[in-house]
Amino acid sequence: MSIRIVGTGSALPKRRVENREIVGLVDTSDAWIRERTGIAGRYISTGETVASLAAQACRRALEDAGKQAGEVELILAATCSPEEAAPCVACRIQKDIGAGNAVAFDLNAACSGFLFALHTAWAYVEAGICKNALIAGSEVLSKLVDWEDRGTCILFGDGAGAVYVEKCESGGILGFVMHADGQRGGVLAGGGRQLINPWAGRQDFRPFLEMDGREVFAFALRQVPVTVEEALGKSGLATGDIDLFVLHQANRRIIEGISKRLGADLARFPMNLEQVGNTSSAAIPLLLDQLRRQGRIERGMHLVLSGFGAGLTCGACAMEW
C-alpha cells in the first residue's frame, strides 16, 4: 500500500521582479546572477500571504484531481515563512477552501519541507488514519530576506505548490529517505521574530536569513546524490529507470553537479528556477504542477523527488506516477 499523486496545483504572486530591478539595490548585475545561479527573475508578494497562495494552489490541485474540499481528510502545509504563529497555515487553508472534515497542521523542514510532508502523508495512510491528503508547500520569503545582502536577495522567490494524494495498492511512492544534521544548522539560519519579555533580557537576534553559500553548495552536492541513491535502493529502481529527477530548485550549478555525480543526463533534470527562483518548500510541487500541465509527466513514469535545505535537512523519494 502507498500513496499516489492524483492532482497538482500551484500559485504565484502577481508581481514579477527581474534581475535588473535588483541591480539598483545591491552591487550585482543580471549577468552575474544568471551565471552563478541560473535565475533571471522571481515572483514577489505585494500582499499575497503564505496561506492565500497555498489555498489557491490547493484549490487547483483538487480541481485537477476532480475532488471536492469536503472529501479531504488531512491537510499538511510545509512552510518556514508563516505570517503568524497561530492559527497555522494548514488551518487557514482548511477555512479558505472549505475542507471542514480535514485534520490540519504545519511542518517546517525549510526547502525539504514538502518532501517531509509528503512522507508524513504516506505514514498516515499506511497507518490507516486516513485515505487521502492535501499537501502544500508555500513560502513568502521576501519578507525574511535582507534586500541589501547580495548573497541571499538574488536567490529567493515567493510561491506555492500543492498535490492531492490518495491511497493506492500499487505504484505511487516506492521508497523514500529523510535526513537531518542539526549540528550544521547555522550555515543557513535566521528570519526569526524577536521575543521580548520582562525576564529574557537582551538576546541575539537575526531578523533576516543568513547563509554560508559555499557550505550549502557543498552539502547539496555531497548529500543529495547519496540520498537519491538510498531512495532508489529502497524502491528497487536504478538511476537508468528514472524518467525525471525533480529536484529542489536552488541553483542551476547544484543541479548540474548532482546530474554529473549520478551519471544521469541533465535533460532528465527539469528546471524552472530561471523564472521563479528558489521558492523553498514550494519549489518541488510548483515544478511538478508545471511539468504535468505541460504534458511532460504521464502515468507509469518513474520520478525521483529530492530536496535539501536549512536544518540542515535532506530527503528523496522514488515513485511511479
Burial class for 294, CB neighbours closer than 10 Å (0-12, 13-18, 19+): exposed
* Lookup: cell for 304: 525521483
The answer to whether 181 touches 310, Cβ cutoff 8 Å, is no
Active site residue 111: yes
Known active-site residue 278: yes
Question: CA angle 154-157-161, nearest 5°?
Answer: 155
- Annotation says 317 is catalytic: no
Q: Pick the catalytic residue from 58, 80, 91, 111.
A: 111
**Which one is catalytic: 278, 302, 314, 317?**
278
Distance, in Å, from the CA atom of 104 to the CA atom of 55, rounded to the nearest integer, reads: 13
Query: Which residues does the annotation mark as catalytic?
Result: 111, 248, 278
